[in-house]
């Protein structure tokens, strides 16, 4: 069984400060990790996934298999980054539907 843990339900930082949202996972196989973002009362949107190794809106995340972590980072937070962030895991396998398991989410508030 797979499990995703986001230890912080709430996180507040000041504008311009670095931000790190923590995500740890447990899964016996090879996982694919994602970060989703949900702005106030909007749909969840894919922010980034580890396979693509891209940076979106200044956010990056590195998969650390040794620590089973996939923390989301941004060097300089902006007020528009305030949102709920979900870490998610999917088995990295071909074939049938790839079920996503979500963490409980972290509400990020960037203060002016």
Partner 1 sequence: DAGVIQSPRHEVTEMGQEVTLRCKPISGHNSLFWYRQTMMRGLELLIYFNNNVPIDDSGMPEDRFSAKMPNASFSTLKIQPSEPRDSAVYFCASISGTGGDYGYTFGSGTRLTVV
Yes or no: say if 24 and 30 are a contact pair by the CB < 8 Å rule: no
The residue (of 15 and 92) whose beta carbon lies closer to partner 1 is 92
Based on the shown chain and the rule CB under 8 A, indicate whether residue 31 belongs to the binding site for partner 1.
no
Based on the shown chain and the rule CB under 8 A, indicate whether residue 100 belongs to the binding site for partner 1.
yes
Whole-Å CA distances, 54 to 29, 51, 60, 62 = 23, 8, 7, 10
- Tokens of residue 102, six digits: 């979500």
Among 7, 46, 54, 64, indicate the residue that binds partner 1 (CB under 8 A): 46
Indicate the pairing of strand 60-61 with strand 72-74: antiparallel
The residue (of 48 and 77) whose beta carbon lies closer to partner 1 is 48
Alpha carbon distance 83, 106 (integer Å) = 8
Among 12, 26, 42, 64, indicate the residue that binds partner 1 (CB under 8 A): 42
Among 1, 28, 99, 112, indicate the residue that binds partner 1 (CB under 8 A): 99
Q: For binding to partner 1 (CB under 8 A), which residues are involved? A: 32, 34, 42-46, 49, 86, 90, 96-105
């Amino acid at each position: 069984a797979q499990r995703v843990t986001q230890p912080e339900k709430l996180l507040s930082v000041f504008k311009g400060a670095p931000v790190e949202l923590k995500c740890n996972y447990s899964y016996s196989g090879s996982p694919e990790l994602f970060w989703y973002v949900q702005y106030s009362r909007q749909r969840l949107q894919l922010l980034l996934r580890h396979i693509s190794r891209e940076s979106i809106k200044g956010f990056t995340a590195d998969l650390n298999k040794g620590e089973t972590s996939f923390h989301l980072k941004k060097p300089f937070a902006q007020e528009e980054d305030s949102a709920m962030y979900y870490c998610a895991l999917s088995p990295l396998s071909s074939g049938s539907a790839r079920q996503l398991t979500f963490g409980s989410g972290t509400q990020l508030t960037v203060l002016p």
